[in-house]
């Protein structure tokens, strides 16, 4: 029977046989908060919780001082349940350090795809502004390629989630995890269904409350406004009310697609789960989102664009770590991740 264990902040040990595993345990090499797994188990577990059962009740494991986890993890994995800013960035940085090569490679590939897509769209726009009539096939082709590149970039984004989830559970992380295309294809219809429902919720608010107010507000800003002061005030109130409602809804539904990818729940289950974990956490979520965006934008500007290779995966990991923390803190039943478990 093969055994594995992984102490916090250390490399995984295994596979080793039963005799060697318990020899390590008796020598104090396996910390109480280590993640352990053996053949036949459904998931990784904390050694302190299963030591007596695995050793048939024999009190042969000596008491050892529990090693403090640099990432702030407790018995629930590498990522702690604390949603404070220090633990938030600390856990994310710990994940990044463990797999910085994979994340930077992913960031380079994602950044390259985004630049190619934006370059194609910019080329079409410049030709149209110059009065050059491009064939419909060329315009459609550029748009199709840009869409495909955007989808591929999204797959790399889910790779951040897969690596972070597996690292939190002590499961083995492989290079192929940076691009989980197979899982995304299996979830394709769920993604399409979730996207359709999301648009049906968001687009009507935009069309009814935000878009109709843009023109009168724009006219008032350039000094050509025909409506009076009262009409402008009503337009402003409607615009900001619609914008606030959209922001609130988008933050409450921020993790829908993560749940679709991360768990086996259905489309409506993903919406329900995202709604639950963000309950009473609007301002915290909004603040972390704004902070992450500002760090990314100013970091890219100060490094003349080259910082995107580092900051793009870091921003993605921060976002995912916050999602995992919210799942651990939620008082409701949240679907369990299906990205972790026994080693292959």
| 111-160 confidence digits (pLDDT tens) | 788 788 888 888 878 887 777 777 878 778 888 888 888 888 889 989 99
Q: What is the mean pLDDT of residues 210-217?
A: 65
The confidence band for 344, taking pLDDT boundaries of 50, 70 and 90, is very low
Sign of CA dihedral 256, 260, 265, 266: positive
Ranges 47-56, 161-170, 195-204, 305-314, most confident: 195-204
Give pLDDT, residue 296: 79
Q: Which residue has the tokens 């629930």?
A: 76
Strand order in the sheet with 13-16: 13-16, 3-6, 35-38, 45-46
Distance CA(24)–CA(14), nearest Å, equals 11
pLDDT at 75 over 60: no
Q: How many residues does the chain have?
A: 344
Give pLDDT, residue 343: 42
Query: Which residues, other chains included, contact 164 with Cβ-Cβ below 8 Å and sequence gap of 6+?
Result: 79, 95, 317, 320, 321, 324
pLDDT at 342 over 70: no
> At what angle are helices 136-169 and 308-329 packed, to 10 degrees?
50
For the chain, the C-alpha Rg in angstroms (whole number) is 25
Measured CA distances, 241 to 29, 230, 245, 285 (Å): 59, 16, 6, 19
The confidence band for 65, taking pLDDT boundaries of 50, 70 and 90, is very low
Give pLDDT, residue 220: 58
Q: How many CB atoms lie within 10 A of CB 91?
A: 28
Give pLDDT, residue 188: 94
Strand partners, 5: 13, 36
Q: List the end-to-end C-alpha distance of the chain, in Å, as a whole number.
A: 15
pLDDT at 295 over 70: yes
pLDDT at 184 over 90: yes
Q: Flag the least confident range among 46-55, 63-72, 214-223, 260-269.
A: 63-72
Give pLDDT, residue 68: 39
3-state secondary structure of 37: strand
The confidence band for 9, taking pLDDT boundaries of 50, 70 and 90, is low
Ranges 41-45, 232-236, 323-327, most confident: 323-327
Q: Which residue has the tokens 């008491």?
A: 63
Give pLDDT, residue 244: 86
Q: What is the mean pLDDT of residues 221-236?
A: 62
Distance CA(60)–CA(47), nearest Å, equals 14
Measured CA distances, 332 to 78, 255, 278, 288 (Å): 22, 16, 11, 23
Q: 113-134: b or e for each residue (b if 16 or more CB lie within 10 Å)?
A: bbeebeebeeebeeeeeeeeee
pLDDT mean across residues, the chain:
79
The confidence band for 59, taking pLDDT boundaries of 50, 70 and 90, is very low
Q: What is the mean pLDDT of residues 273-293?
A: 88
Using a 10 angstrom Cβ sphere, with 0-12 exposed, 13-18 middle and 19 or more buried, the burial of residue 262 is: buried
Cβ contact 37:3 at 8 Å? yes
Q: Flag the least confident range among 48-52, 91-95, 183-187.
A: 48-52
Sign of CA dihedral 330, 264, 268, 177: positive
340 is written with which tokens? 């972790």
Distance CA(79)–CA(166), nearest Å, equals 11
Among 56, 55, 90, 84, residue whose Cα is nearest residue 72: 90
177 is written with which tokens? 């995890």
> At what angle are helices 308-329 and 85-98 packed, to 10 degrees?
120
Give pLDDT, residue 234: 67
Give pLDDT, residue 70: 38
Cβ contact 194:267 at 8 Å? yes
Give φ, ψ of 80 to 5 degrees: -75, 165
Give pLDDT, residue 66: 39
Query: Which residues, other chains included, contact 241 with Cβ-Cβ below 8 Å and sequence gap of 6+?
Result: 209
Give pLDDT, residue 137: 83
Give pLDDT, residue 170: 77
């Amino acid at each position: 029977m093969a055994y594995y264990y992984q102490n916090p902040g250390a490399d995984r040990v295994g596979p080793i046989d039963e005799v060697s595993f318990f020899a390590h345990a008796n020598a104090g090499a396996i910390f109480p908060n280590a993640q352990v797994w053996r053949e036949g188990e459904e998931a990784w577990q904390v050694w302190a919780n299963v030591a007596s059962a695995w050793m048939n009740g024999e009190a042969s494991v000596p008491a050892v001082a529990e090693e403090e986890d640099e990432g702030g993890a407790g018995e629930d994995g590498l990522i702690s349940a604390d949603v404070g800013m220090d633990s938030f960035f600390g856990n994310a940085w710990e994940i990044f350090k463990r797999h910085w090569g994979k994340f930077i490679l992913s960031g380079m590939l994602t950044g390259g795809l985004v630049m190619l897509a934006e370059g194609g769209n910019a080329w079409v726009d410049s030709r149209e502004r110059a009065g050059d009539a491009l064939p419909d096939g060329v315009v459609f082709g550029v748009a199709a390629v840009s869409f495909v590149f955007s989808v591929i970039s999204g797959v790399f984004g889910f790779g951040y989630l897969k690596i972070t989830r597996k690292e939190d559970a002590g499961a083995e992380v492989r290079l192929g995890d940076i691009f989980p295309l197979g899982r995304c294809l299996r979830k394709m219809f769920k993604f399409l269904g979730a996207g359709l429902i999301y648009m049906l919720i968001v687009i009507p608010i935009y069309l009814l409350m935000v878009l109709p107010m843009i023109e009168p507000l724009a006219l008032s800003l350039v000094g050509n406004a025909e409506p009076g002061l009262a009409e402008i005030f009503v337009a402003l109130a409607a615009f900001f009310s619609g914008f606030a409602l959209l922001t609130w809804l988008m933050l409450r539904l921020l993790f829908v697609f993560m749940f679709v990818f991360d768990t086996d729940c259905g489309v409506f289950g993903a919406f329900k789960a995202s709604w639950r974990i963000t309950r009473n956490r609007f301002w915290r979520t909004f603040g972390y989102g704004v902070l992450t965006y500002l760090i990314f934008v100013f970091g890219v500007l100060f490094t003349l664009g080259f910082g995107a290779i580092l900051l793009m995966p870091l921003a993605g990991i921060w976002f995912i770590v916050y999602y995992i923390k919210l799942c651990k803190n939620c008082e409701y039943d949240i679907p369990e991740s299906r990205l972790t478990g026994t080693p292959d």
